[in-house]
Amino acid sequence: MASARIVDLLSQGQPGQTVVVRGWIRTARQLKEFTFVEVNDGSCLKGIQVVLGQELADYEMLAKQLDTGAAIAVEGQLVASPAKGQRVELQAASVEIVGGADPEQYPLQKKRHSFEFLRTIAHLRPRTNSLGAVMRVRNAAATAIHDFFQERGFLWVHTPIITASDCEGAGELFTVTNLDLDKLGQSQQAPDFEQDFFGKRAYLTVSGQLEAEIMALAFSNVYTFGPTFRAENSNTSRHLAEFWMVEPEMAFCDLGGDMDLAEAFLKFVFQRVSDRCSEDLEFFNQRIDSEVLNRAETILNNDFERVSYTDAIALLEKADRSFDYPVAWGIDLQSEHERYLAEEYFRKPLIVYDYPREIKAFYMRLNDDQKTVAAMDVLAPGIGEIIGGSQREERLDVLKQRLAEANLPEENYWWYLDLRRYGSVPHAGFGLGFERLVQFITGMGNIRDVIPFPRTPQNAEF
Ligand code: ATP
Ligand code: MG
Ligand code: MG
Ligand code: MG
């Protein structure tokens, strides 16, 4: 008999129904006449209560193996549950311990482990409530992202992971190298990391944007959703070396249209996740951050504030508190500045636009004032920058000049410049860090705890 998903049984299962449940034991409570076991298959926060009575064959032997973490298969009948908070429970008719978990070795969950500790235990972390809820929220958010763009006619394009360009010009690149271990062993020589993609230089992508632009100038509205890599050798709570990025790109679109899309997008995804994962969001609300649901309301019920960079600097200069990093026109906003604006001043998400040209990437469209570019960042309470976007420079001469200023050789960007030679149009897009979004939705403090396999300077093992 195929096993039923526990979440479905708990919401729709009918007393009298015969079912099979397969999962892992969360807790076991032995009373005199019978034993209660909570079994979870990862489909929901709280598992199903299974009742093992003494009439079961091998009851005594089974009772000794009902250890937390053990894998179990139960066939039985659903019965109405007398316990509070659950409609049905499962009266076991036959039980199999599929894989035991030595209680001497298993890190028991009775006491709550720190997120840091959990990151070191591969088998336990995904079975905790917090990572379980995170994974279900990730799933709902990722699906919502596709729905949002698909409903609006955007084409999902798959941009390469191996590229030759440093899109952001920030120098946070991992190099790709075709290590031939046999040869390496013989020659004892260090590989030439600079030119080792079959004789050329190649990196792991820091953004799919430039390639997405190629596609937008043929398919009008496109988006990417894939892994991104940055050699961030820092230990912040919002940077990973590998993260997922969502990057829409729209032809015939200016910065205003880009901001409208970003706001509609965040509201849509938030609404969908709230609808699909209400139990998980409630869990975060209680356990992690009491502000989470209010943040949901904040994002859904308000128009985002829109403030120019110049006005934002003025607000920061007037702030009745000091910052570690001094405020002056021309600085890149730091997390403390972003959070002040979102959390203390406006108390809702805001979009800062028209940044100084010196601090932004070469591809952003130069404004008429010659001092600023048509860039925008969405700043969210609790996180700071969650989206970075811009209108792209569509004028060939200006783009060439910007490349030169950034010390980027034109030869490497011939294909990008060609887009401005043949049918160039105003176009715009943005990049959203998927993990920052999940952090924002869940209220989790550290970005490492909202991704199944965090990649940081300390961790690439599992
Ligand atoms: P930050 O200022 O926080 O370093 P950024 O300005 O370098 O971000 P962008 O190049 O604008 O980032 O990338 C677009 C989006 O990707 C950001 O708004 C953010 O949501 C996300 N992002 C950037 N770097 C990381 C990272 N190392 N880990 C996770 N998400 C990231
Ligand atoms: Mg950065
Ligand atoms: Mg930034
Ligand atoms: Mg940015």
Q: How far is the CA of 454 from the centre of ligand 2 (A)?
A: 17
Pocket test for ligand 1, best of 337, 436, 446 (most atoms within 8 A of CB): 436
- Does any ligand 1 atom lie closer than 6 A to the CB of residue 388? yes
Q: What is the pLDDT of residue 197?
A: 84
Q: How far is the CA of 245 from the centre of ligand 3 (A)?
A: 14
Residue of 298 and 117 predicted with greater confidence = 117
Q: What is the pLDDT of residue 192?
A: 63
List, for residues 315-340, the tens digit of each pLDDT value. 999 999 999 999 999 999 999 999 99
125-160+217-449 has the same fold as 6-110? no
Tell me the average pLDDT across 230-235: 88
List, for residues 384-437, the tens digit of each pLDDT value. 999 999 999 999 999 999 999 999 999 989 999 999 999 999 999 999 999 999
Count how many Cα atoms sit within 13 Å of the Cα of residue 149 in the half-sphere of its side chain.
22
Task: Please check the confidence at residue 159 and state whether its pLDDT lies above 90.
Answer: yes
Nearest CA to ligand 1 atom 4: 239
Q: Closest ligand 1 atom to the C-alpha of 361?
A: 10
- Does any ligand 1 atom lie closer than 6 A to the CB of residue 431? yes
Task: Please check the confidence at residue 99 and state whether its pLDDT lies above 90.
Answer: yes
List, for residues 265-277, the tens digit of each pLDDT value. 999 999 999 999 9
Domain spans of the chain, in order of start: 6-110, 125-160+217-449
pLDDT band per the 50, 70, 90 thresholds, residue 164: confident
The 3-state DSSP class for residue 417 equals: helix
The CATH architecture to which 6-110 belongs is Beta Barrel (2.40)
Q: What is the pLDDT of residue 289?
A: 57
Q: How far is the CA of 195 from the centre of ligand 1 (A)?
A: 27
Q: How far is the CA of 383 from the centre of ligand 4 (A)?
A: 13
Nearest CA to ligand 1 atom 31: 433
User: Kindly report the CA angle at 240 between 236 and 242, in degrees rounded to 5?
Assistant: 170
Q: What is the pLDDT of residue 288?
A: 73
Nearest CA to ligand 1 atom 6: 388
pLDDT band per the 50, 70, 90 thresholds, residue 193: low
Tell me the average pLDDT across 342-369: 96
Q: How far is the CA of 170 from the centre of ligand 2 (A)?
A: 8
- Does any ligand 1 atom lie closer than 6 A to the CB of residue 385? yes
- Does any ligand 1 atom lie closer than 6 A to the CB of residue 387? yes
Q: How far is the CA of 433 from the centre of ligand 1 (A)?
A: 6
- Does any ligand 1 atom lie closer than 6 A to the CB of residue 386? yes
Kindly provide the ipTM of the predicted complex, given to two decimals.
Answer: 0.99
Q: Give 18-32 as a DSSP string.
A: EEEEEEEEEEEEE-S
Q: Which helix (H) or strand (E) holds 12?
A: helix 6-12
Tell me the average pLDDT across 280-294: 76
Q: Closest ligand 1 atom to the C-alpha of 389?
A: 11
Backbone angles phi, psi at 227, to 5 degrees: -75, 150
pLDDT band per the 50, 70, 90 thresholds, residue 181: low
Q: Closest ligand 1 atom to the C-alpha of 168?
A: 10
Nearest CA to ligand 1 atom 20: 433
Q: How far is the CA of 433 from the centre of ligand 4 (A)?
A: 10
Task: Please check the confidence at residue 24 and state whether its pLDDT lies above 70.
Answer: yes
pLDDT band per the 50, 70, 90 thresholds, residue 46: very high
Q: Give 116-180 as a DSSP string.
A: HHHTT-TTTGGGSHHHHHHHHHHHHHHHHHHHHHHHTTPEE----SEES--TT-S---PBP----
Q: What percent of the chain has pLDDT over 90?
A: 79
Q: Closest ligand 1 atom to the C-alpha of 378?
A: 18
pLDDT band per the 50, 70, 90 thresholds, residue 100: very high
Query: Domain spanning 125-160+217-449 has what CATH number?
Result: 3.30.930.10
Q: What is the pLDDT of residue 370?
A: 97
Q: What is the 3-state secondary structure (H, E, C) of 32-78?
A: CCEEEEEEECCCCCCCEEEEEECCCCCHHHHHCCCCCCCEEEEEEEE
Nearest Cα to 92, choosing from 71, 79, 72, 76? 76
Q: What is the pLDDT of residue 223?
A: 98
Residue of 50 and 82 predicted with greater confidence = 50
Nearest Cα to 378, choosing from 348, 403, 423? 348
Q: How far apart are CA 293 and CA 443, in angstroms?
A: 9
Mean pLDDT of the chain: 92
Q: What is the pLDDT of residue 290?
A: 56
pLDDT band per the 50, 70, 90 thresholds, residue 190: low
Q: How far is the CA of 170 from the centre of ligand 1 (A)?
A: 11
Q: What is the pLDDT of residue 286?
A: 87
Q: How far is the CA of 360 from the centre of ligand 4 (A)?
A: 8
Q: What is the pLDDT of residue 107?
A: 80
- Does any ligand 1 atom lie closer than 6 A to the CB of residue 393? no
113-122, 286-295, 361-370, 400-409: lowest mean pLDDT where? 286-295
pLDDT band per the 50, 70, 90 thresholds, residue 201: confident
Q: What percent of the chain has pLDDT over 70?
A: 94
222 in Cβ contact with 249 (< 8 Å) = yes
List, for residues 239-266, the tens digit of each pLDDT value. 999 999 999 999 999 999 999 999 999 9
- Does any ligand 1 atom lie closer than 6 A to the CB of residue 239? yes
Q: Give 187-214 as a DSSP string.
A: H-PPP-GGGTBTTB--EE-S-SHHHHHH
Nearest CA to ligand 1 atom 19: 433
218 in Cβ contact with 155 (< 8 Å) = no
Nearest CA to ligand 1 atom 25: 239
Tell me the average pLDDT across 300-307: 94
Task: Please check the confidence at residue 195 and state whether its pLDDT lies above 90.
Answer: no
